[in-house]
Structure 1
Amino acid sequence: MSHSSTPLEPRAIRLIKRTALCVFGPFYFLYIGFVPLLCARRTGFRGWYWRTVKRACTRLLWLLSIRAEMSAADKATLAGDVNSLIVINHRSHLDGFTLMDTVPDAKWFTFAAKKELCDAALLSTGFKGAGLVEIDRASGKIAMQTLSQAVKDMPPRRSVVLFPEGTRVRTASLGSFKAGAVVVARATGRSIRPIVILNSDSLLPRGKFAPKSGVITLKVLPAFHCDLSATVEEDLARLHAAMSAVFDAGV
């Protein structure tokens, strides 16, 4: 693969932006964290807060001199996407921010979050207000049942985002996939909408704190439909192959 991580702006501009992030960022993100405590019960809060969080992710990437790119055709595909789960490979801590930045507002989505995060005093109100799916990972079977039921209860326009690799990977190619997304898709009758992210690990490698400036690309793949006459493992292999073909081809 060939991924460009050439800085987008001169060093002086990047330094000014990152200084502004260090000075004003904590206050802004405290606001993002605390505002649900004040108005989470107001009518229309969830939609307003979700858009506010998306804009915060966009501003963060701008201050880091990082541009997330998704083609107009892919954005249009997502804007009309219904009855799906979204699966995306996981390369760095930048992945969630770039997804929030690029997915159009017309496409509603949310994340699954481990129960410990949803129980945190500061985060719980915002997480629940934004519609995050709370997962207790103490039992894999119960976690899958909880996730499947949450997806069944979602309106067609909303999708939950899952990282099939389970964690950030360091390998040159995609890591192995866990079966959760396929299991939930088969249980709910939803399709899977794969998204491949490229170059985020070049800008923020695992173990590094300060990301480099550059471009992260996201590619939306055709809807993936499970084959109920096949095994979960066979569906998982097909999904992995489809996403790997795009990832290995690069940009």
Structure 2
Amino acid sequence: MVKRSVLLLFGPIYFLFVAFVPLLCARRPGFRGWYWRLVKRACSRLLWLLSIRVDMSEAAKQELSDDTGSVIVINHRSHLDGFTLMDAVPDQKWFTFAAKKELCDAKLLSTGFKGAGLVEIDRRSGKVAMDTLSEAVREMPKRRSVVLFPEGTRTKTESLGAFKAGAVLVARETGRTIRPIVILNSDRLLPKGKFFPYSGMVRIEVLPPFICNPEVSADEDVDRLRREMMAVFDKGASEGKAPQPS
């Protein structure tokens, strides 16, 4: 109760500061690196105030620390997913998110988003969207990865939803591997429609790099990627290691 009171009193001020720092520092050399570390700390403090713990093995953290030349894909169950990912990923791994171009066109948001290094996605057509995403990924340093949600939206199904082909197509276009990450229990702590989450633990599993096979169709690669992630998700759900929300 005390933590949530602190969050309600000071949280909005703190997170507005984090949100508007890019407007002040977008042209500062080296800004993007320390800005994302600032965002990571903000996410960690938020989860602490909400009494939410994130479980990722030390081996998985080391894998991400050493990860280069990848596109990160994660399943999407809850609004907690991005926060828990930011909390768990080590500082050595740089990553960013994609945002629709309409948000980046707004004058106030544009400076902040571009300064922070978000990837603009032009959704006028599927081809334009893929071209803009592939171009942005191609220009990224190998150390940085863009995070994509292959399901496209939060899913309500017991297992993973259908995957879109975007991540596979980008990986094929840019020569990058795919780093699959599976999030467990986030939807139990913050179900759709609930404002405040339950306290508890979210588990994050990091899978080995997924290498696309140019000798098969993109749809076959998408199906194989989904099967590999679904096996980890279903196994984690059936083991019931994640505690009940409280």
Please classify the TM superposition score into its range, dividing by the shorter chain length. over 0.9
CA contact (8 A) 2:33 2:94 kept: no
Partner of 1:140: 126
Partner of 1:77: 63
Partner of 1:51: 37
Offset, 1:39? 2.1
Partner of 1:41: 27
Moved runs in structure 1, 4+ residues, more than 6 A? none
Q: Please say which of residues 37-46 and 212-221 is displaced more in the overlay.
A: 37-46
What pairs up with 1:67-216 in 2 under 5 angstroms?
A: 67-216=53-202
AA matched with 2:37: R
AA matched with 2:121: I
CA contact (8 A) 2:98 2:147 kept: yes
Q: Identify unmatched segments of 5+ residues in structure 2.
A: 242-246
Which of 43, 49, 54 matches 1:63? 49
AA matched with 1:175: G
Offset, 1:122? 4.1
- TM-score, normalising length: structure 2: 0.94
Distance in 1, Cα, partners of 2:101 & 2:83: 21
Identity %: 72
Distance in 1, Cα, partners of 2:190 & 2:48: 15
AA matched with 1:142: V
Offset, 1:32? 1.1
Per-residue CA distance 1:119-156 (angstroms, 9 max, x = gap): 34443322211211000112111000010111111111
Note if 1:239 corresponds to 2:225: yes
Offset, 1:196? 0.2
- TM-score, normalising length: structure 1: 0.92
Partner of 1:11: none
> What is the SS of the residue equivalent to 2:82?
helix
CA contact (8 A) 1:34 1:122 kept: no
AA matched with 2:23: L
Offset, 1:41? 1.3
Root-mean-square deviation (CA, aligned residues, Å) is 1.0
> What is the SS of the residue equivalent to 1:183?
helix
Offset, 1:99? 0.6
Per-residue CA distance 1:90-136 (angstroms, 9 max, x = gap): 00000000011100010111111111222344433222112110001
CA contact (8 A) 1:196 1:246 kept: yes
Partner of 2:244: none
Note if 1:217 corresponds to 2:217: no
CA contact (8 A) 1:89 1:174 kept: yes
Distance in 1, Cα, partners of 2:198 & 2:106: 31
Distance in 2, Cα, partners of 1:109 & 1:101: 12
AA matched with 1:109: F
Distance in 1, Cα, partners of 2:105 & 2:190: 29
> What is the SS of the residue equivalent to 2:157?
coil
Partner of 1:8: none
